Structure 1
Amino acid sequence: MEALLKLSDGIDAIVSRVGKWAALLAIPLMLTIVYDVIQRKFGGQGSIKLQELEWHLHTGLFMLCFGFGYIRDSHVRIELIRDNLRPRTRAIIEMIGAILCILPFCGLVLYFGYDFVLRSFENNEVSAATTGLTHRWIIKSTIPIGFGLLAMAGLSVFLKCYVFVFGPTNLRNHAGHYVGATHHADLGNEAARLKD
């Protein structure tokens, strides 16, 4: 079980590092938006390249940080229901969600996304606008990369939840942070429930 947690921590480190670096795309994104708005307001015209660069940066930011958000448990949830569940129940729901939803969906996107990017690269795909950006395959490649990172994050969360549900009590504190069981009181209550 400790090996599973070490594997999960290693995956977390990779996904987190990519997510933190990708989060820096917010800076050029903001600067590009501000420059585009100023140019439109005072320059009298917009730029298609700037507009496309904005959504390219936004797509890269979103796709490369998606897995990081899942590891940090910062994605959208129905907290009204989830927060009233016991940590063990949360962990079981996460495991089922990872196995039945996240990993298969990511597998499909990776399978079809590879061909999607390869065709774009081979055809030297460019923007449909005559003054748009070239090398469309670069932005398209963030889709399979992003879903690959999300699959890694899903595997990491599954491993943590698995250890929390089926592992020894001494590992639950480390494994249980994702399901909100990091407080000793929660762990003590959960241990008492498991003995009953």
Structure 2
Amino acid sequence: MPEIVRRYVRLIDRVNRVVGLFAMYLVVAMIGILLYSSVMKAVAIPPLWTLEMAQFVMAAYYMLGGGWSLQHDSHVRMDLIYANWGPRTRAMVDSVTILFLIFYLCILLYGGFSSTAYALRYGETSYSAWSPYMAPIKIVMCIGVALMLLQAIAQFFRDLALARGEELS
């Protein structure tokens, strides 16, 4: 593989590793928000913002963790026959099937940009009683999809190299 591809794979792996490790701590933030909500419900009137904020934090958690999950091959897979294949055969099949993921993520990112632009332009808010602006979470979701798309492209290069008998790390 050309050196620029190797650098790209290393850079994207590094970025998704850092973002994924950050995203792991969002679960702690979500637990804190829900704990605060539970305590306030027992003591006084629960705040309006806690449930929706916990949902936003959870959405950020799984969207920002997508690239890390793809990088570490920890997504769900049906491996009825896949587990019996050798590494090069798996890499050949993965290098074809990941193109479908890349296509899907491109469509998802296009829709995300469109939705984010709408939220920014018109000041879109949630329909809840708290009524927060939707643009920040939509921006985070677009970043998460973009990082997963970049990681899918890096994974494509890694699988292509392995199918050719090279090791790309």
CA apart distance, 1:93: 1.7
Match of 1:165 among 144, 163, 166: 163
Query: In structure 1, what is the Cα distance between the partners aligned to 2:32 and 2:79?
Result: 34
- The aligned residue for residue 23 of structure 2 is 22
- The aligned residue for residue 13 of structure 1 is 14
User: Residue 125 of structure 1 aligns to a residue in which SS?
Assistant: coil
- The aligned residue for residue 149 of structure 2 is 151
Counting only pairs closer than 5 Å after superposition, residues 35-74 of structure 1 correspond to structure 2 as 35-40=36-41, 42-43=42-43, 45-74=45-74
| Runs of 4+ off more than 4 Å | none
CA apart distance, 1:91: 0.5
- The aligned residue for residue 108 of structure 1 is 107
Residue 34 in structure 1 maps to residue 35 in structure 2:
yes
CA apart distance, 1:86: 1.1
Query: In structure 1, what is the Cα distance between the partners aligned to 2:45 and 2:94?
Result: 49
Amino acid aligned to 2:92 = I
Q: Can you list the C-alpha shifts for 1:107-159, whole angstroms capped at 9, x where unaligned?
A: 111112111001111111222123x1422110112222111111111111111
User: Residue 129 of structure 1 aligns to a residue in which SS?
Assistant: coil
CA apart distance, 1:51: 0.4
Q: Choose between structure 1 and 2 for higher RCO, CA contacts under 8 A separated by at least 6 residues.
A: 2
Query: In structure 2, what is the Cα distance between the partners aligned to 1:37 and 1:86?
Result: 51
Amino acid aligned to 1:96 = V
User: Residue 76 of structure 1 aligns to a residue in which SS?
Assistant: coil
Q: RMSD of the TM alignment (CA)?
A: 1.8
Contact 1:19 1:68 in 2 (8 A): yes
- The aligned residue for residue 193 of structure 1 is none
User: Residue 122 of structure 1 aligns to a residue in which SS?
Assistant: helix
- The aligned residue for residue 183 of structure 1 is none
Query: In structure 2, what is the Cα distance between the partners aligned to 1:81 and 1:66?
Result: 25
Q: Which runs of 5+ in 1 are unaligned?
A: 176-196
Amino acid aligned to 1:162 = L
- If the length of structure 1 is used for normalisation, what is the TM-score? 0.78
Q: Percent identity?
A: 22
Counting only pairs closer than 5 Å after superposition, residues 73-84 of structure 1 correspond to structure 2 as 73-84=73-84
Query: In structure 1, what is the Cα distance between the partners aligned to 2:159 and 2:104?
Result: 20
Query: In structure 2, what is the Cα distance between the partners aligned to 1:39 and 1:85?
Result: 54
Q: Which runs of 5+ in 2 are unaligned?
A: none
- The aligned residue for residue 87 of structure 1 is 87
CA apart distance, 1:13: 0.9
- The aligned residue for residue 117 of structure 1 is 116
Query: In structure 1, what is the Cα distance between the partners aligned to 2:120 and 2:87?
Result: 46
Amino acid aligned to 1:49 = W
Structure with the higher helix share, 1 or 2? 1
- If the length of structure 2 is used for normalisation, what is the TM-score? 0.90
Match of 2:136 among 132, 138, 147: 138
